[in-house]
Amino acid sequence: MLTLDMTNSAFDFLTEMQIKPFRQVMLKILQLTKNPHPQDAKKLIGYDFYRVDIGEYRVIYQEENGVLKIILVGKRNDDEVYRRLKNMRK
């Protein structure tokens, strides 16, 4: 099982979510600590990150040295999560 770590941005997004989607997203994150590359995960082109979709939310993460790092959590149906990811790269 991997150790879980997350950015402040991901943590802040999660703390503002409604309880039902929060539970769904957190369950998926906990499952990722056991299997960081499930069938529904996709590698992001140009990054060393993966993404999974949970309902209308998207989680961007990476696995490195026994740590599952949650980079971003955001709405799936808009590109804001990718804009935030691009801005983090700069």
* pLDDT, one tens digit for every residue, the chain (90 residues): 999 999 999 999 999 999 999 999 999 999 999 999 999 999 999 899 999 999 999 999 999 999 999 999 998 776 778 888 888 765
Q: Which fold has domain 3-89?
A: YaeB-like fold (3.30.2310)
Tens digits of residue pLDDT in 57-69: 999 999 999 999 9
Taking the model in full, what pTM does it have?
0.90
Give me 3's structure tokens.
């150790």
> Taking the mean position of all CA atoms in its chain, how far away is CA 46?
17
Residue 89 phi/psi, 5-degree rounding, is -70, -30
